[in-house]
Structure 1
Amino acid sequence: MKIREFEFADFKAVTDIYQEGIDGGNATFEKQPKAWPEWDRAMLAPCRLVIEIDSQLVGWAGLLPTSTREAYAGVVEVSIYISDNAKGNGAGYALLTELIKQSEEAGCWTLQSAIFPENQASINLHQKCGFKILGVRERLGQMNGVWRDVVLMERRSDKVGL
């Protein structure tokens, strides 16, 4: 496994993996991947990572700001996706661990994730990496006419924002 910084040439593979998450129905409320300009504006410039296995990109992770207010500059939302054919081999753990490390180097003190309760593998991954469940946001949004709950998870740094 090799983790490296995202490059623009990775964008097609990143959107393909994101589309797998959309198609699975338990990864995001989104119905289609963002186009490059929108994705680039949404994701913070530092901490855009990809993971490769045998030179094939199998996952990506990044951070999104939770607010434009200066007081919340170190509070970010995690976005992490692993290709269906690479799940269960430790790629998610390696990628999230590196994202945490780089987020702290970038000055982030709180990472949060919003995960559908049906996505138990993602909840388990986040817990393994030190996230705790804050609660369930019930009926947060509709997906294909069905109300969906979201588990809100958080990880506080023990190095930044003390």
Structure 2
Amino acid sequence: MSIRIRKMVAEDWEGVARIYAEGIATGFATFEKQVPSYADWDQNHLSSCRLVAQEGEELLGWAALSPVSSRCVYGGVGEVSVYVGEQARGKGVGESLMKELIVQSEAEGLWTLQSGIFPENLGSIKLHEKVGFRKIGKRERIGNLDGVWKDNVLFERRSNTIGTT
């Protein structure tokens, strides 16, 4: 598999939305019930640090960051979204995306990346641990999805170069 990681552009939305829908369908990737419009997605994510994984013409996965707060003190903290298409899972796509996301986030001055992951999403948990995130806690019954209360395991990665002084 020859994976190329590149900047996401608006024209990628159809493939990104398809992969997002596959994640939603698992029932353990997000509380979202449907893929938002590109305009809504665009508004809720940082304009930098948007990536896609591609092989040939096919998008295999995507990663992006959302701000955690509008307060300036949290300007260096981003929340990770990473999704890998069904056919590409377990093939290193998520790891490639996450490693590049870390590099780009630090280039943009972010000192902390965080994620909230459903406990049953073992692939995402293993991925985060593999690229240097640590478990910092669990929010119990944080949200209800289809009548089932769900927990979120919280993961964080602190930069070794940004925000250390």
TM range (shorter): over 0.9
TM-score, with length taken from structure 2: 0.97
TM-score, with length taken from structure 1: 0.99
* Alpha-carbon distance between aligned partners in 2 of 1:103 and 1:31, rounded to the nearest angstrom: 28
* Alpha-carbon distance between aligned partners in 2 of 1:22 and 1:82, rounded to the nearest angstrom: 11
* Alpha-carbon distance between aligned partners in 2 of 1:92 and 1:4, rounded to the nearest angstrom: 13
The runs of at least 4 aligned residues of structure 1 exceeding 3 Å deviation read none
Aligned residue runs from structure 1 range 1-162, under 5 A: 1-162=3-164
* Alpha-carbon distance between aligned partners in 2 of 1:87 and 1:98, rounded to the nearest angstrom: 17
Kindly, what percent of the aligned residue pairs are identical? 51
**Range with greater deviation from structure 2 (47-56 or 81-90):** 47-56
The 3-state SS of whatever aligns with 1:21 is helix
Q: Which runs of 5+ in 2 are unaligned?
A: none
The 3-state SS of whatever aligns with 1:37 is helix
Q: For 1:118-157, what per-residue CA distance to the aligned partner results, in whole angstroms no more than 9, with x for missing partners?
A: 0011000000000000111100000001100000000000
One-letter amino acid of the structure 1 residue matched with residue 12 of structure 2: D
Number of aligned positions between the proteins: 162
The 3-state SS of whatever aligns with 2:156 is strand
State the Cα distance separating 1:75 from its structure 2 match: 0.7
State the Cα distance separating 1:54 from its structure 2 match: 2.9
* Alpha-carbon distance between aligned partners in 1 of 2:106 and 2:117, rounded to the nearest angstrom: 22
Q: For 1:104-128, what per-residue CA distance to the aligned partner results, in whole angstroms no more than 9, with x for missing partners?
A: 0000000000000000110000000
